[in-house]
Amino acid sequence: MTSKVDEALGYEQARDELIEVVRRLETGGTTLEESLALWERGEELAKVCRRWLEGARARLDAALAEESGEAEDSGSGSGRDSG
């Protein structure tokens, strides 16, 4: 479960912290306990990023559906000139 702090993170903040976590894991030199803690933090940050992206996708889909509905209502079809 994500914390309130994680929920307040913006996409860019979570992404940047996730990049740092991955860098530290790839570099090595940490104890098993530190590596596990980093892995768990990375999983939480990935969830935050995923939620932001899913929300953005939903907003985009809604805007496109609204635009499509308006185009159908105006009778313009594809919106392109035929001539």
Q: State the total domains in the chain.
A: 1
Q: Taking the model in full, what pTM does it have?
A: 0.73
Give 7-35 pLDDT, tens digit per residue: 689 999 999 999 999 999 999 999 999 99
Taken in order 50, 52, 53, 57, the sign of the CA dihedral is: positive
For 52, the domain range is 4-71
> Is the CB of residue 83 less than 8 Å from the CB of residue 49?
no
> Is the CB of residue 15 less than 8 Å from the CB of residue 51?
no
Residue 51 lies in a domain: yes
Residue 46 lies in a domain: yes
